[in-house]
Amino acid sequence: MSRTLAELAATPPGELAVSGWIDIDQSRVDRFAEATHHTHWLHIDPDRAATDGAYGGTVAHGFLVLSLINHAIDQCGLRPTDSPYALNYGVDRVRFLKPMPIGDGFRVRDRISLIEAEMRETGLFTRTGHAFEIEGDTDKPCVVAEYLSVWAHK
């Protein structure tokens, strides 16, 4: 759903979109571990994680799932059409509510809601809510956060 900065600023709070499913496999977890130097066996050693861990195998990094916020925003077409770029302003109320086991068909999706949007001198400030859920697990999201962005004017 394409919107301009003015249209997004006028959008009432509430659900904006639900992203498509995003695959998270061991290869992605391994690359994230390497990039962040967080190479604990619980994330990168399936054999040890299966025997020594509590989840039957490896689990994704919570920060890996959190880092998918911008991908989900892009996937849902939520970037304002008249903004050349956005700057990350911060993340509030981040909670990692459950581990995300890696296995066959592991996927997450993001339920995105608008909490607030305010036009400022620097651009449109937005606070969006994100609730990542694991496919097949409707109990509660695995990661929730409020994401703060400033969408630049052209």
pTM: 0.94
pLDDT over 90, % of the chain: 92
The predicted pLDDT at position 58 comes to: 96
The predicted pLDDT at position 143 comes to: 97
Confidence of residue 138 (pLDDT cuts 50, 70, 90): confident
User: What confidence tens digit (pLDDT) does each residue in 97-119 have?
Assistant: 999 999 766 899 999 999 999 99
Map residue 40 onto helix, strand or coil: coil
**Pair 17, 113: CB distance under 8 Å:** no
Confidence of residue 82 (pLDDT cuts 50, 70, 90): very high
**Calpha distance 100→60 (Å, rounded):** 5
The predicted pLDDT at position 104 comes to: 64
Residue 50 has pLDDT above 90, yes or no: yes
The predicted pLDDT at position 154 comes to: 82
> For the domain with range 5-25+60-151, which CATH number is right: 3.90.550.10, 3.40.109.10, 3.10.129.10, 3.30.310.160?
3.10.129.10
Give the residue extent of every domain in the chain: 5-25+60-151
Map residue 15 onto helix, strand or coil: strand
DSSP 76-139: TT-S-TT-S-EEEEEEEEEEE-S--B--TT-EEEEEEEEEEEEEETTEEEEEEEEEEEETT--S
Mean pLDDT of 40-60: 96
Which token pair is 41? Answer: 């066996």
The amino acid present at 128, given as its one-letter code, is T
Lowest mean pLDDT among 20-29, 35-44, 72-81, 99-108: 99-108
The rounded mean pLDDT for the chain is 95
Confidence of residue 141 (pLDDT cuts 50, 70, 90): very high
pLDDT over 70, % of the chain: 99
Identify the burial level of 74 via C-beta atoms within 10 angstroms of its C-beta, where 0-12 means exposed, 13-18 middle and 19 or more buried: exposed
Q: C-alpha distances in angstroms, 62 versus 15, 24, 65, 101, 135?
A: 23, 12, 5, 11, 16
